[in-house]
Structure 1
Amino acid sequence: MPFIYRRRVQFYETDAQGIVHHSNYFRYFEEARGEFLRSRGLPYSEFRKRGLEVVLLTARCEYKKPLYYDDEFEIHLTLKDLTRFTFSFEYEVLKEGESVSYGETKHCIVKEGKIVSIPEDVRSILG
């Protein structure tokens, strides 16, 4: 079952054509990811207290239909993959139940500038 993050498009997120600028989808994914982790009791601030950083390795997005100012939409976030060193999420952006974009991100955990294996408690929270 996906984690669902709900949001409304703000005017400043639109471009000269009046649609959401493509770069904002990655911000939306980050917001959804942050809320997912927070909902599981592990906000980004907790990672930082532990000397850990969540680092983005790859990101991609497919744009199917535009979003406009004041549109309400949902992001359905699902854990796609979890290995010893990396984890990946899938994102589906829906407006009125219709898919408007799809994205993926892949991450790792870094401590003192080096990639480390994902701590067991983090693995269980993600999984």
Structure 2
Amino acid sequence: MRHTYVRRVHFYETDAQGIVHHSNYFRYFEEARGELLRSLGLPYSALRKEGYEVVLLEASCEFKKPLLYDEEVHIEVSLSHMDKFTFSFDYKVSAEGKLRALGHTRHCILKNSKIISLPVKIKERLIRRE
């Protein structure tokens, strides 16, 4: 399962050198992941109405080459792992056809402030897109 999210770098996301500040990559991952879930009929808003919270357990980013102001950025997100309690995504960030960063996040689902097994509805929709 892969989904590509496209956005443009905004000026406020850059530092004094005109390079995207490293913290923004994690925002990009969240945006891409949110759009992937929305495309599967699982927007965060609907999950929250059902009492589920998608919780970030781990996040990493390997920076390859800087992103610059006004570049069109493609963030490819793909499911990389799923077990009874957690699921993970990998991210490839590119601009102008060149790889700029690689990322990874791991998540779980909470209901009533407790970790639960992944709901069947979520598992089925994630697997269906693989």
Aligned-residue offset at 1:111:
0.7
> Whole-Å Cα distance in 2 between the matches of residues 51 and 78 of structure 1?
25
> Whole-Å Cα distance in 2 between the matches of residues 96 and 17 of structure 1?
19
* 2:99 paired residue number: 99
Q: Which runs of 5+ in 1 are unaligned?
A: none
TM-score, normalised with respect to structure 2 = 0.96
TM-score, normalised with respect to structure 1 = 0.98
Task: Return the letter of the residue paired with 1:46.
Answer: A
Aligned-residue offset at 1:81:
0.2
Q: Which runs of 5+ in 2 are unaligned?
A: none
Task: Return the letter of the residue paired with 1:20.
Answer: V
Aligned-residue offset at 1:97:
1.6
Task: Return the letter of the residue paired with 1:38.
Answer: R
Aligned-residue offset at 1:27:
0.1
* 1:110 paired residue number: 110
* 2:2 paired residue number: 2
Sequence identity of aligned pairs in percent? 61
Task: Return the letter of the residue paired with 1:53.
Answer: E
Matched, 1:68 2:68: yes
* 2:83 paired residue number: 83
3-state DSSP of counterpart to 1:31: helix
> Whole-Å Cα distance in 1 between the matches of residues 38 and 25 of structure 2?
20
Structure 1 residues 4-61: Cα deviation after superposition (integer angstroms, max 9, x where no partner): 1001000000011110000000000000000000011110001101101000000000
Aligned-residue offset at 1:68:
0.7
Aligned-residue offset at 1:98:
1.1
3-state DSSP of counterpart to 1:45: helix
> Whole-Å Cα distance in 1 between the matches of residues 126 and 2 of structure 2?
12
Aligned-residue offset at 1:109:
0.1
Q: Which runs of 4+ in 1 moved over 2 A?
A: none
